[in-house]
């Protein structure tokens, strides 16, 4: 049973950059939440191209150490890297786990071969599929009382991630979602007037 209604979870979802290593639910429940979101995320032609790697415990920490290592290689200076390192340590590595979102390119290629008239659309629709999977996962974690944010250190970390966890090379890394217990409030969210964003014709 989710701790929040769907409406409240959608409304309360934010980018939390102050998270801790604890969790409001068990690791088994976290896995169940992730699997539920993956199973029920819609996709073009029901292609089900979304893939997720859930990193917990030492594997979660290993990811963010890996990210720091890759960033250090391209950092302008020690001072610049120190600021980046502090942010990663406090906002991502400090969390309980990370969900890595991938799109299986073999699925995309098969659809392109099968439906050549839509060839150029399938990579775009694949990105849509991943985005839907990401937001459903984010809302589901929020509904369980966990704070999360969405990060994009790809493609910088792609090769290292693939090697470290023996990821299928056809899986394209799209985003990373660190999560954990909420240690601080998210920033206030501002909203553009809905009349500028939603048109209604009756």
Question: Which CATH number does the domain housing residue 142 bear?
Answer: 3.40.109.10
Show the tokens assigned to 78: 């020690």
Quote the domain boundaries for residue 136: 6-185
pLDDT in 10s for each residue of the chain, 202 residues = 457 888 999 998 999 999 999 999 999 999 999 999 999 999 999 999 999 999 999 999 999 999 999 999 998 888 889 999 999 999 999 999 999 999 999 999 999 999 999 999 999 999 999 999 999 999 999 999 999 999 999 999 999 999 999 999 999 999 999 999 999 888 888 999 999 999 999 9
Residue 200 lies in a domain: no
Residue 63 lies in a domain: yes
Count Cβ neighbours within 10 Å for each residue of 43-68 and write b for 16 or more, e otherwise. Answer: bbeebbbbbbbbbeeeebbebbebbb
Residue 71 lies in a domain: yes
pTM, to two decimals: 0.94
Residue 190 lies in a domain: no
pLDDT by residue (tens digit) across 99-109?
999 999 999 99
Number of domains into which the chain is organized: 1
Residue 53 lies in a domain: yes
Residue 134 lies in a domain: yes
pLDDT by residue (tens digit) across 37-48?
999 999 999 999
Residue 148 lies in a domain: yes
Q: Which of 112, 158, 107, 152 is nearest to 129 (CA)?
A: 107
Element (H, E) at 107: helix 105-114
């Amino acid at each position: 049973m989710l701790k929040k209604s769907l409406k409240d979870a959608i409304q309360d979802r934010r980018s939390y950059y102050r998270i801790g290593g604890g969790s409001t639910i068990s690791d088994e429940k976290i896995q169940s939440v992730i699997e539920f979101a993956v199973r029920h995320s819609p996709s073009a032609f029901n292609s089900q191209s979304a893939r997720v790697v859930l990193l917990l415990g030492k594997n979660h920490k290993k990811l963010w150490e890996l990210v720091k290592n890759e960033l250090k290689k391209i950092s302008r200076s020690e001072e610049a890297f120190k600021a980046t390192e502090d942010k990663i340590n406090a906002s991502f590595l400090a969390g309980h786990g990370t969900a890595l979102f991938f799109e299986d390119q073999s699925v995309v290629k098969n659809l392109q071969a099968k439906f050549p008239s839509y060839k150029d659309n399938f990579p775009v629709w694949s990105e849509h599929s991943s985005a839907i999977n990401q937001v459903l996962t984010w809302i589901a974690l929020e509904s369980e009382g966990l704070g999360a944010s969405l990060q994009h250190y790809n493609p910088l970390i792609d090769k290292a991630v693939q090697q470290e966890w023996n990821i299928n090379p056809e899986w394209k890394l799209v985003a990373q979602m660190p999560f954990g217990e909420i240690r601080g409030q998210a920033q206030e969210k501002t909203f553009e007037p809905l009349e500028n964003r939603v048109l209604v014709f009756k």
